């Protein structure tokens, strides 16, 4: 049985910001579309085996079961709840991820 993938509004906003940065700041709209597609394809691949990716090792997220999937230069963070995968954030891997997650 496949899992259902849900992107939070914050994850959708993260994806929009990634697209807009590449398309408008870097002036690479075609690359922006390709990056967005690769990210969404990888996230939706979680519907088969979301447990295969490791739990994020920092607390308090580790004890909450937050998982991390690496997608090229980005990281997707998600929770498994029953047969649902809740994608919480999509962040550039070079950012201070712990600090960003702490602010939420």
Pair of tokens at residue 20: 């807009």
Tell me the per-residue pLDDT of 6-27, one tens digit each, with 9 for 90 and over: 999 999 999 999 999 999 999 9
Q: Is 104's pLDDT higher than 80?
A: no
Question: What pTM does this model have?
Answer: 0.93
Alpha-carbon gap, residue 64 to 79, rounded angstroms: 8
Q: In this structure, what CATH number is given to the domain that contains residue 67?
A: 3.30.2310.20
Q: Is 1's pLDDT higher than 80?
A: no
Which residues form the domain of 97?
A: 4-102
Measure Cα distances from 61 to 46, 50, 77, 88, 101 in Å: 19, 16, 10, 12, 9
- Residues 66/78, Cβ–Cβ less than 8 Å: yes
Percent over 70 (pLDDT), the chain = 100
Q: What is the count of structural domains for the chain? A: 1
Tell me the per-residue pLDDT of 29-49, one tens digit each, with 9 for 90 and over: 999 999 999 999 999 999 999
């Amino acid at each position: 049985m496949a899992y259902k993938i849900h992107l939070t509004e914050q994850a959708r906003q993260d994806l929009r910001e990634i697209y807009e940065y590449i398309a408008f700041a870097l002036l690479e709209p075609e690359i922006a579309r390709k990056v967005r597609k690769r990210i969404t394809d990888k996230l939706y691949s979680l519907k088969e085996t979301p447990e295969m990716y490791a739990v994020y090792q920092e607390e308090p997220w580790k004890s909450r079961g937050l998982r991390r999937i690496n997608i090229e230069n980005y990281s997707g963070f998600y929770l498994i709840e029953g047969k649902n995968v809740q994608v919480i954030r999509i962040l550039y891997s070079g950012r201070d991820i712990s600090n960003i997650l702490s602010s939420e």
